[in-house]
Amino acid sequence: MPAKVADCRASVSAVRELTPDVVEVDLAMVEPAALVFEAGQWVSVPFGAKNVRAYSIASSPRTPGVITLCADVAPGGIGSRWVRALRVGDEVAFKGPLGGFVWAPGETRRPLLVAEEIGIVPVRAIAVELAAGRVATTLAYWARDPGWLVYDAELRALARENPGFAYHPVVRDGEAWTGARAATVVPLIEALVPDVSGLVAYVAGGETTIRQVREALMLRGLERKAVKWEKFW
């Protein structure tokens, strides 16, 4: 049963700038003392009565006393400014957990995870849980350049440590990049998935990428409802 949504308070315990435009924040739970959630869910931070921002939880449900949020602060809006200004010791109020972009209990289909840039945040959480459960998983991760493959090193390590976890990063640009290149993630998906039987896909990123991946998989015969998605922009 999904955890009940609650009003929560936490204290900032760490702030890390992963790239000039991506900031990761650890929140030590205060009330409740632990946040029960599922990998892939998010929390909602209020900025006024009708102005909220959603932040996916990057950390594992196995460490509910401290949750990690990760945000693209490049847009420069109210949420971006708030994340950039966070300092250790600040108190944060939010509501959560929220969202249904989660690995369903009892799911027997083989997972294909697809992420575009900051869309990796919930996908990373799901990937870590699937690897821990020894579920054979394929992850395709696209970015405009290597600097936007936020968790690239960690995911490479996860693939080395877990033979059943296949990680495929691809970028559009990058002079020093020696890996796969493509203007979108679609050519990679088409190469990785010649057969969609018994497949379920989880896609997180921009609306255009979600639509393109869904259409590519449906052309191969996958049912529309077998593509789960989380839109970031």
State the DSSP H helix or E strand holding residue 125, giving kind and residue range, or none if neither. Answer: helix 120-132
Which tens digit of pLDDT belongs to each residue from 223-232?
999 999 999 9
CATH of 6-98 given 1.10.1040.10, 3.90.330.10, 2.40.30.10, 3.90.950.10: 2.40.30.10
pLDDT digits (tens, 9 = 90+) for 116-171: 999 999 999 999 999 999 999 999 999 999 999 999 999 999 999 999 999 999 99
The class that CATH gives domain 110-231 is alpha beta
What are the C-alpha distances in Å from 38 to residues 19, 58, 88, 139? 26, 11, 26, 19
pLDDT value at residue 190:
96
What is the rounded CA–CA span in Å between residue 150 and residue 131? 19
Q: Exposure of 22 by Cβ count < 10 A (0-12 exposed, 13-18 middle, 19+ buried)?
A: buried
Model pTM score: 0.94
Q: Where are the domains of the chain?
A: 6-98, 110-231
